[in-house]
């Protein structure tokens, strides 16, 4: 699955980078939950007081350092992908791990980030998910400008605080969110309005009318900026949903409940669920940000797949299966130890043409050698002969044919191990 | 380079496994230097006393746990490769890192490990090194049975201690080793004999005569086991060097100075140097062991490439270079923002045939779009047209031809980024 992600990302011009697993502790700060769960490193026998480094808890912190340190050398917009493990000191439970893989893509500009890149990252991720053996994905999208304009327009001062509450909608329901908003001093009418806003969804640009209707029937404060932000956000989200669906039909949906807890998003925000696995939560999320590095500049947009969470579900619910347990497509049998070199020679010629194979470990009876292949799911056994290259047997069908090690090929589906949906 | 290693290992029937980066601290013990350099994990704000886990310092410890835990499920002999980072709290210096990649292959049996597997792992590694853009490799091999038989025969009681001294031959020279041996109570004649043994080398089985000559001119003690071990070791090493050279000519050399400090090797031991880079030390080492897991059983043979050390040398001495800085073979130009969808469509059709490409981020002047490609080393720029698919320009030669996005292909060498020797 990682190889599939790499292939799709690279087809779209994203280059792989890899960063060290550790960062200076002061970089692993911030307000997020993850930053409280950092694992700190000490040398065996050393004191905690010496600790200066911790394991990274996401791939954004190291990417920010990467761009900051290489800003004079990189060419922008810079497309990168990064597939690495991250570590969080959480309580382990189903779908939550202390060590897990993330697969991130980001496009970062130096000064101005063109709007069409918001659609591009979503399209790349949609195609990556299409290429994986997973159920159909729905990408739910919102726009922070739209939300901020609306929230400010209905008189909410602490937009970030209100967003963090709305982000819990799935967990605590509308009553829970309303209670939290009231505690933040948000008036009842405003709270009702933003909960109404969160109900709006559409698979195309038609959400626009519903937002405008709601806006026009809700008492608003005098705030030109809010009005402008709302208008810009609506236009961005319409363009985003429509471009993504034009490229990958049936993928994108405007969903105005999508909040994403993190403060740094400033435009598109994304969450992705798999059909029949909505309980798993979002398996691919992200958004647009104004500034990747602390000093400002470097606006970008990125998304991240929670690979381990996804794979864990696929395996635990037996949604996928591997076609065999080893890479070998062929077991080359050995007649006796004196002719092992001949079997090795056949294997070398098959490998030269890209056919993975192994040579039997012992010159046991052919029945035992076939059993060796069968236990590993190796589909073909090659029997060398004193003259010519011998014969190859498909041990599933029993069919056995004379073959030439420089010409014979297994069916394409048997060449390499594949991960298939059951 | 990692992709090349994966490809070669899989062609030889080795399946990839990956283990978590952490192990219980009690597993990360032992007498080796690396086990003193373990990084211990604590939660931020936690106490060192809570620490139970550390980062693995090699891939053998986690592989042993893997086999131990899954012994009922695995099929033996079990071929695995593992390419992961490991961590050691060393003082960083050229070629020594605190976080680095290793690439290991091992074949592990349940009870008896056939001798030909000692040649197989060496052949796989030799082919992997041949496939990488590195100078020619020489694999130096010795056999622990040969060494133990000889050492015991000349009257050395602490064979492991003597071996650890001989392992320092390159660093402290024969005088230094002789001094250490004297301190261990090894007599002068015996010390001379094992230093003479360490001088014996041959690119074929001819070392055998030199060993027997030395043995016959050296006073030996009465020890039938020693004599038997020596005989078995000589036969094993002759077979090993000859089989490896038959498969990959010019690779293997019997070198009786190869000691490998680690106690657990019991048969073949290997070290590998690159021509012109002998100062780098061994970049691929390993050996045969009787028991992978603490309880006994599971004999195996394995080798490990120090990938980061190798890549660091290749990069720092500019031995290799990448053909471009991004995966894209083609930049699809954009005439104006209104026709961006047409450019996207051409890119999609190229990608469907496996051609990596990206679409220009802005509809700037064509000269600027060509400059965008040139800065990244993207060899081709595609100019869409109002009718048909337009034309594609090789920006290195300036040649521009009409092209069909469903049929045009770049030259094979331009399709993907390649790492080349300069």
CA distance B204 to B240: 9
**Is residue B327 within 8 Å of B354, Cβ to Cβ?**
no
User: Which of A160, A116, A371 shows the shortest CA–CA distance to A265?
Assistant: A160
CA distance B27 to B61: 7
Q: Is A314 left (phi over 0), alpha (psi -120 to 50) or beta?
A: alpha
CA distance A262 to chain B (A): 21
Nearest CB to A344; choose among B114, B247, B344: B247
Nearest CB to A11; choose among B341, B344, B351: B351
CATH class of B2-321: alpha beta
CA B61 vs. chain centroid, Å, equals 17
CB spacing of B37 vs A15 below 8 angstroms: no
CA distance B84 to B97: 14
Residue range(s) occupied by CATH 3.30.930.10 in chain B: 2-321
CATH topology of domain A7-14+68-78+90-321: BirA Bifunctional Protein; domain 2 (3.30.930)
Per-residue pLDDT for B94 more than 90?
no
pLDDT of residue B47: 53
CA distance B149 to chain A (A): 27
Question: Chain A residue closest to B374 (CA)?
Answer: A75
User: Which of B366, B358, B365, B406 shows the shortest CA–CA distance to B383?
Assistant: B366
Residue A297, burial from CB neighbour count under 10 angstroms (0-12, 13-18, 19+): middle
3-class secondary-structure state, position A51: coil
Measured between beta carbons, the chain A residues lying within 8 angstroms of B44 are 25, 36-40, 54, 89
Q: A46 CB near a chain B CB, below 8 Å?
A: yes
**What rounded mean pLDDT belongs to chain B?**
94
Stretch among A26-40, B94-108, B193-207 having the lowest mean pLDDT: A26-40
Q: A70 CB near a chain B CB, below 8 Å?
A: no
CA distance A205 to B26: 59
pLDDT of residue A43: 84
Per-residue pLDDT for B48 more than 90?
no
**Is residue B65 within 8 Å of B94, Cβ to Cβ?**
no
Confidence of residue B270 (pLDDT cuts 50, 70, 90): very high
Q: B37 CB near a chain A CB, below 8 Å?
A: yes
- CATH 3.40.50.800 applies to domain A330-421: yes
3-class secondary-structure state, position A173: helix
Q: A48 CB near a chain B CB, below 8 Å?
A: yes
Measured between beta carbons, the chain B residues lying within 8 angstroms of A48 are 42, 47-48
CB spacing of A43 vs B351 below 8 angstroms: no
User: Which of B86, B78, B71, B94 shows the shortest CA–CA distance to B17?
Assistant: B78
CA distance B197 to B210: 9
**Is residue B48 within 8 Å of A45, Cβ to Cβ?**
no
pLDDT of B312-371, one tens digit each?
999 999 999 999 999 999 999 999 999 999 999 999 999 999 999 999 999 999 999 999
pLDDT of residue B45: 67
**Is residue B395 within 8 Å of B381, Cβ to Cβ?**
yes
CA distance B302 to B339: 57
Task: Residue window 336-365, chain A: list those with CB within 8 Å of chain B.
Answer: 337, 340-341, 344, 348, 351, 354-359, 361-362
Residue from B1, B4, B15 whose CB has the most chain A CBs within 10 Å, to mutate? B15
CA distance A368 to A373: 9
CB spacing of B36 vs A15 below 8 angstroms: no
Confidence of residue B288 (pLDDT cuts 50, 70, 90): very high
For residue B332, CA distances in Å to A315, B346, B378, B391, B395 come to: 39, 7, 11, 10, 13
pLDDT of residue A46: 63
Q: What torsion do the CA atoms of B109, B113, B118, B122 make, to the nearest 10 degrees?
A: -10
Confidence of residue B51 (pLDDT cuts 50, 70, 90): low
pLDDT of residue A93: 82
Sign of torsion, CA B14 B17 B23 B26? negative
**Is residue A63 within 8 Å of A89, Cβ to Cβ?**
no
CB spacing of A44 vs B38 below 8 angstroms: yes
Nearest CB to A40; choose among B44, B351, B357: B44
pLDDT of residue A90: 82
Q: A52 CB near a chain B CB, below 8 Å?
A: no
pLDDT of B21-46, one tens digit each?
999 998 898 666 777 789 999 887 66
CA A318 vs. chain centroid, Å, equals 20
Point out which residues pair with B286 in neighbouring strands. Answer: B270, B303
Question: Chain B residue closest to A86 (CA)?
Answer: B21
Query: Would you give the DSSP letter of residue A93?
Result: B
Residue A411, burial from CB neighbour count under 10 angstroms (0-12, 13-18, 19+): exposed
Nearest CB to B361; choose among A77, A337, A359: A77
CA distance A189 to A181: 11
Q: A26 CB near a chain B CB, below 8 Å?
A: no
Please give the average pLDDT of every successive group of 10 residues along chain A, which has 422 residues. Answer: 96 97 88 79 68 90 95 95 94 86 98 96 98 96 96 93 92 94 94 96 97 94 93 98 96 95 88 96 95 89 97 94 96 96 96 98 96 97 94 98 97 95 87
CA distance A241 to chain B (A): 14
Measured between beta carbons, the chain B residues lying within 8 angstroms of A15 are 325-327
3-class secondary-structure state, position B99: strand
pTM of the model: 0.94
Residue range(s) occupied by CATH 3.30.930.10 in chain A: 7-14+68-78+90-321
Point out which residues pair with A139 in neighbouring strands. Answer: A252, A272
- State chain B's maximal CA–CA distance in angstroms: 93
Q: A114 CB near a chain B CB, below 8 Å?
A: yes
Query: CB pairs below 8 Å between A and B: how many?
Result: 141
pLDDT of residue A172: 94
Measured between beta carbons, the chain A residues lying within 8 angstroms of B117 are 361
Question: Chain B residue closest to A115 (CA)?
Answer: B361
**Is residue A12 within 8 Å of B8, Cβ to Cβ?**
no
CB spacing of A43 vs B42 below 8 angstroms: no
For B333, residues 6+ apart whose C-beta sits below 8 A from its C-beta are B343, B360, B366, B369, B381, B382, B383, B384
Residue range(s) occupied by CATH 3.40.50.800 in chain B: 330-421
CB spacing of B247 vs A340 below 8 angstroms: no
Residue from B361, B364, B370, B417 whose CB has the most chain A CBs within 10 Å, to mutate? B361
Measured between beta carbons, the chain A residues lying within 8 angstroms of B77 are 361
For B406, residues 6+ apart whose C-beta sits below 8 A from its C-beta are B349, B353
How crowded is residue A171: how many other Cβ atoms within 10 Å of its Cβ? Answer: 9
> What would the two tokens of residue A96 be?
């939550």
Q: B54 CB near a chain A CB, below 8 Å?
A: yes
> What would the two tokens of residue B137 be?
């490799």
Per-residue pLDDT for B93 more than 90?
no
Query: Would you give the DSSP letter of residue B38?
Result: P
CA distance A401 to A393: 6
Strands (E) in B235-356, as ranges, are 252-255, 265-274, 284-289, 300-306, 320-322, 330-332
Q: A324 CB near a chain B CB, below 8 Å?
A: no
For residue A32, CA distances in Å to A29, A164, A281, A344 come to: 8, 12, 18, 56
CB spacing of B20 vs A362 below 8 angstroms: no
Task: Residue window 222-261, chain A: list those with CB within 8 Å of chain B.
Answer: 243, 246-247
Measured between beta carbons, the chain B residues lying within 8 angstroms of A25 are 44
pLDDT of residue B260: 85
CA distance B6 to B14: 9
pLDDT of residue A35: 76
CB spacing of A48 vs B44 below 8 angstroms: no
3-class secondary-structure state, position A26: helix
Measured between beta carbons, the chain B residues lying within 8 angstroms of A20 are 99
**For helices A159-166 and A144-153, what crossing angle results, to 10°?**
110
For B23, residues 6+ apart whose C-beta sits below 8 A from its C-beta are B53, B54, B56, B61, B62, B65
């Amino acid at each position: 699955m990682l190889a599939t992600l790499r292939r799709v990302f690279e087809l779209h011009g994203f280059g792989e980078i890899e960063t060290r697993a550790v960062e200076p502790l002061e970089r692993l700060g911030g307000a997020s939950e993850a930053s409280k769960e950092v694992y700190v490193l000490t040398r065996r026998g050393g004191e905690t007081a010496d600790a200066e480094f911790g394991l990274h808890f996401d791939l954004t912190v190291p990417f920010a350092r990467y761009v900051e340190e290489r800003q004079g050398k990189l060419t922008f917009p810079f497309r990168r992908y990064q597939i690495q493990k991250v570590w969080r000191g959480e309580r382990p439970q189903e779908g939550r791990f202390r060590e897990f893989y993330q697969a991130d893509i980001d496009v970062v500009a130096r000064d101005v980030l063109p709007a069409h890149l918001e659609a591009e990252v979503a399209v790349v991720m949609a195609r990556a998910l299409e290429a994986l053996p997973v159920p159909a994905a729905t990408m739910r999208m919102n726009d922070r400008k739209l939300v901020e304009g609306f929230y400010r327009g209905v008189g909410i001062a602490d937009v970030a605080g209100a967003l963090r509450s709305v982000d819990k909608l799935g967990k605590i329901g509308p009553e829970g969110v309303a209670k939290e908003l009231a505690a933040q001093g948000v008036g009842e009418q405003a709270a009702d309005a933003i909960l109404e806003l969160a109900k709006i969804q559409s698979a195309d640009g038609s959400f626009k009318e519903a937002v405008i209707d709601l806006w026009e029937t809700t008492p608003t404060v005098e705030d030109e900026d809010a009005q402008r932000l709302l208008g810009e956000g609506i236009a961005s989200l319409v363009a985003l949903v429509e471009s993504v669906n034009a490229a990958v039909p049936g993928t994108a949906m405007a969903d105005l409940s999508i909040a994403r807890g993190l403060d740094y998003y400033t435009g598109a925000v994304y969450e992705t669920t798999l059909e029949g696995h909505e309980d798993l939560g979002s398996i691919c999320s992200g958004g647009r940000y104004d500034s990747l590095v602390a000093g400002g500049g470097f606006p970008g947009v990125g998304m991240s797949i929670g690979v381990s969470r996804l794979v864990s579900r696929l395996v635990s619910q037996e949604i996928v299966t591997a076609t065999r347990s080893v890479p070998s497509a062929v077991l080359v049998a050995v007649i006796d130890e004196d002719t092992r070199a001949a079997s090795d020679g056949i294997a070398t010629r098959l490998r030269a043409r890209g056919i993975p194979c192994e040579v039997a470990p012992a010159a046991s009876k052919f029945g035992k050698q076939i059993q060796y292949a069968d236990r590993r799911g190796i589909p073909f056994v090659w029997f060398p002969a004193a003259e010519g290259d011998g014969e190859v047997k498909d041990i599933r069908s029993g069919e056995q044919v004379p073959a030439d090690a420089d010409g014979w090929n297994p069916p394409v589906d048997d060449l390499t191990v594949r991960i298939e949906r059951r």
